[in-house]
Structure 1
Amino acid sequence: MNKDTVIKHYEHTLEWAQSLTEVTEEEWRSALADGKWSIAEIIAHFVPWDEFILHDRLKEFWNDRALCKAPDVHEMNRQSAERARHEERSETIGRFIAVRTKLLQEMKKIEASRWTTPFLIGQTELTLSSYFQGLIKHDLHHMEQVKQALSTKRR
């Protein structure tokens, strides 16, 4: 996965998030399925992870030492989902678009050659390409969940 592919995906997610201003309030707030998050919670949970990548990962990738582990996934997701339940849709989408736009701007500044330079997270060797490939897979998983839920609800 090269830099251009990653950039295009992140640009597409901005358009996708913006399109969610068109869903009904019920669609925005309802769980996608039993035991699943709502669209609001899904969008909100991207924000702290993008912030983590922007502030704690990007500047550390090539400092010649292993990167620290990520924050507690469940706790960070729980907090972001809780916040989404209490804020306006425009605020949730606005926060997502703001941080993802900043992340995109920073990614564009990274030279193409850096995308294949190895680094360590704990004992795991990755490249920027493989790292973002995992993040994109995660985005696409949630985007597909939303698409499926909306198509089911609109039948």
Structure 2
Amino acid sequence: MSEKRNQFEEMIEEFLALKKYPEDVLTDPIATGKWSIREIVGHLFYWDKFSLEKMVPLMIHEATLPPFPNHDLHNEEGISYINRYDSVNDIIDEFAKTRKQLVEELRKLNNDIRFNIGHESNTYSCERYVDVFLHHDNDHLNQIKEKLNC
């Protein structure tokens, strides 16, 4: 298992730690016009769900995976999707469950496979794919920590 995939899995604990905060703190926007921590976690969960369902099953050597969806539309769908959960803790739990499943599926893949995504000319490995989302996670985690003064 690559170091990147290990870091990707370790994010689960970072987000589970948010359950110690009151619901009102987690539903307050991180800044004017920005998402709340609830929405950020839901956003990360929805991208993991997309990867798990739409991308990882197609990751075979020399495959061309579908292009990433329009980010703005996908993010809007994700925010709408999380409204089915009763609490922020439920969303955090769903994120943790989905991330664990995603990591398990990624572990099954051969480190040597290379694939393309959509019409991009860059070739991806599993590690590169994970790295894109790891950076994304870290950007949002830094926003959350700034909001919580951690």
TM-score range, shorter chain: 0.7 to 0.9
TM-score by length of 1: 0.84
The corresponding residue for 2:122 is 125
Judged with a 3 Å threshold, the aligned counterparts in structure 2 of structure 1 residues 76 and 87 are, in CA distance, closer, same or farther, namely: farther
Q: Give the letter aligned to residue 121 of structure 2.
A: T
TM-score by length of 2: 0.87
Please show how residues 4-153 of structure 1 align to structure 2 within 5 Å.
4-62=2-60, 64-84=62-82, 87-112=86-111, 114=112, 117-121=113-117, 122-127=119-124, 128-151=126-149
Q: Give the letter aligned to residue 118 of structure 1.
A: R
Judged with a 3 Å threshold, the aligned counterparts in structure 2 of structure 1 residues 123 and 83 are, in CA distance, closer, same or farther, namely: closer
Q: Please tell me the root mean square deviation across aligned C-alpha atoms, in Å.
A: 1.9
Following superposition, the deviation at residue 5 of structure 1 comes to 1.4
State the identity as a percent: 24
Judged with a 3 Å threshold, the aligned counterparts in structure 2 of structure 1 residues 140 and 36 are, in CA distance, closer, same or farther, namely: same
- For structure 2, which runs of at least 5 residues remain unmatched after alignment? none
Count of residue pairs the alignment pairs up? 147
Following superposition, the deviation at residue 137 of structure 1 comes to 0.6
Following superposition, the deviation at residue 124 of structure 1 comes to 2.5
Alignment partners' CA distance in 2, 1:126 and 1:28: 38
- For structure 1, which runs of at least 5 residues remain unmatched after alignment? none
SS of residue paired to 2:106: helix
Is residue 31–residue 38 contact of structure 1 (8 Å, CA) maintained in 2?
yes
Is residue 61–residue 67 contact of structure 1 (8 Å, CA) maintained in 2?
yes
